[in-house]
Amino acid sequence: MTVAERLTELGITLPEPVRPVANYVRHVQTGNLLFISGTGPTKAAPTGKVGTDLTVEQGYDVAREVGLQIIATVQDALGDLDRVARVVKVLGMVNCAPDFRDQPKVINGCSDLMVEVFGDAGRHTRSAVGFVALPDQIAVEIEATFEVR
């Protein structure tokens, strides 16, 4: 089954990838590594600090939405998601208060999606940690690295 077929089976329609407005780009490939910029959710997602303004479950949903945005960017970069050999690394950034403990449960929203979509090739290294503030007070931002064939 191709990744595109798996997306259809999962009932997933990829969003339109966001476009950066400053002097940076959404993706750079060097050798077999594809780097994706730090990615947030759409403007419709709830904002603020997870554990304070959002529940962990809401944070999970935002992380999943960010994951979809990342996959849409990879599709945009490669043209064909079957060129993904491996999800290598995820840096999961959670906007939270000093006493928050559940960053991994939030970033699971992205990690679970990667494995649903790419199977074993979706299993990645990651850090899921707390940031004092993210741009425009988005709740979750995620940066990712892929191996490309």
Residues that bind its own copies (CB under 8 A): 22-28, 30-33, 35-38, 49, 85-86, 88-91, 93, 96-104, 108, 111-112, 114-115, 122-137, 141, 143, 145, 147
At closest approach, how far in Å is the CB of 112 from its own copies? 5
Return the number of the residue (58 or 109) whose C-beta is nearest its own copies: 109
State which residue, 2 or 125, has the beta carbon closest to its own copies. 125
Instruction: Quote the CA–CA distance of 87 and 117 in Å, as a whole number.
Output: 11
Report in angstroms the alpha-carbon separations of 23 from 42, 78, 102: 20, 21, 34
CB of 91 vs its own copies, minimal distance in Å = 7
In angstroms, the CA 8 to CA 1 distance is 11
**Cβ closest to its own copies, residue 82 vs residue 143:** 143
Q: Which residues partner with 87 through β-bridges? A: 146
- Nearest CA-CA partner of 37 in 69, 5, 78: 69
Q: How far is the CB of 98 from its own copies (least distance, A)?
A: 5
Nearer CB in complex with its own copies: 81/110: 110
Could you tell me which of 57, 133, 68, 69 has the C-alpha nearest to residue 102? 57
The least CB distance from residue 10 to its own copies, in Å, is: 15
Which residue in this structure is represented by tokens 């959670």?
94
